[in-house]
């Protein structure tokens, strides 16, 4: 890399670091630590659910040395997001971006407190988009959808910190180190903003439950040509006496739409299963024995 390009890169990274670092805190709890990002002007911080665990309070330390005790407002293990509320003054809110506008190869900067070093900055690129990060809550297994993969160095303590674009907008919350040179971040987009807003108001996220397990599968050529849809979700398992089972869904069905919206993977269904769907009559179109069939399921609330 020539000196001019290196200078441009250095300027971009140092500018973002200057913008974002003041809004990022190191957080300490009775057991464990991590990072968090101030995202409202009245002192709310965003972090990972796995950072807070079962704790209800802790201490945030900012890059200028200022400290503020905080309470945990709410956590959602199934998206790995949590909201904190500082008791004292905090820096102003970071500017949130939209991860759905990221492209592979784009510069991103990670700011956090790896190994307890508050305000540490690393840089890299978006290595891949649309990754899925498996998570579990009790016996329930789900995936965090559209996870951002980056090669920006992440170490223990980075979790909960900011992943920012070259304009200094926070586009992700660093959540895990999957291997050497591989970092993952929960995206900031319309879906996660909805989760964050719900945590702010209710302290938890209620989700609807159908009780089926499926895998992506291509549609037969004639159906694909007729519908303009190329893939659906092949039902592998239906939980006995669950909402899907009671609605008549069967193993082998190929789900085309849920609530009249096309789905091609499990995430497509999960996006529909928020609290307002609990107890409603949810239309599901499936391909069964070459024919399209409509069934109506009544999701229950996900517990455990």
DSSP H helical ranges for 103-240: 190-202, 221-227
Please identify which of the residues 76, 80, 146, 165 carries the catalytic annotation: 80
Please identify which of the residues 50, 146, 165, 265 carries the catalytic annotation: 50
State phi, psi for 2 to the nearest 5 degrees.
Answer: -75, 165
92 catalytic? Reply is no
Please identify which of the residues 63, 113, 159, 264 carries the catalytic annotation: 159
Strands (E), the chain: 24-28, 33-38, 44-47, 57-62, 67-76, 81-86, 107-112, 120-137, 140-150, 162-164, 170-179, 182-187, 208-209, 212-218, 231-238, 254-258, 261-262, 282-288, 291-297, 300-301
Quote the radius of gyration of the chain (alpha carbons, Å).
21
Place of tokens 């002192």: 43
33 catalytic? Reply is no
Q: What is the 3-state secondary structure (H, E, C) of 231-293?
A: EEEEEEEECCCCHHHHHCCCCCCEEEEECCEECCCHHHHHCCCEHHHCCCCEEEEEEECCEEE
State phi, psi for 10 to the nearest 5 degrees.
Answer: -65, -40
For residue 155, CA distances in Å to 88, 112, 282 come to 28, 9, 43
159 catalytic? Reply is yes
What is the rounded CA–CA span in Å between residue 293 and residue 232?
A: 14
What is the rounded CA–CA span in Å between residue 170 and residue 181?
A: 21
Positions marked catalytic: 50, 80, 159
């Amino acid at each position: 890399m020539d000196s001019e390009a290196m200078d441009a890169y250095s300027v971009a990274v140092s500018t973002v670091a200057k913008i974002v670092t003041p809004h990022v805190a190191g957080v300490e709890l009775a057991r464990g630590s991590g990072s968090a990002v101030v995202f409202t002007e009245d002192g709310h911080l965003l972090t990972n659910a796995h950072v807070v665990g079962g704790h209800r309070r802790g201490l945030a330390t900012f890059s200028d040395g200022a400290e503020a005790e905080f309470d945990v407002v709410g956590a959602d293990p199934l998206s790995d997001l949590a909201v904190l509320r500082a008791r004292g003054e905090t820096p102003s809110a970071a500017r949130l971006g939209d991860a759905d506008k990221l492209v592979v190869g784009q510069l991103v900067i990670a700011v956090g407190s790896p190994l307890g070093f508050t305000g540490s900055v690393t840089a890299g690129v978006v290595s891949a988009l649309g990754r899925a990060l498996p998570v579990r809550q009790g016996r329930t297994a789900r995936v965090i959808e559209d996870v951002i993969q980056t090669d920006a160095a992440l170490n223990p303590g980075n979790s909960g910190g900011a992943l920012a674009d070259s304009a200094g907008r926070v586009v992700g919350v660093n959540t895990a180190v999957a291997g050497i040179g591989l970092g993952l971040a929960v995206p900031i987009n319309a879906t996660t903003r909805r989760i964050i807003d719900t945590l702010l108001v209710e302290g938890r996220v209620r989700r609807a439950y159908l009780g089926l397990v499926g895998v992506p599968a291509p549609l037969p050529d004639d159906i694909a040509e007729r519908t303009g849809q190329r893939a659906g979700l092949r039902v592998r398992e239906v939980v006995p006496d669950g909402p899907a089972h009671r609605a008549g869904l069967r193993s082998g069905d190929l789900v085309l739409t849920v609530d009249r919206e096309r789905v091609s993977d499990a995430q497509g269904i999960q996006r529909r299963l928020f609290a307002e769907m609990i107890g409603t009559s949810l239309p599901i179109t499936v391909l069964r024995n070459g024919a399209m069939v409509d069934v109506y399921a009544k999701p229950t609330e996900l517990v455990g």
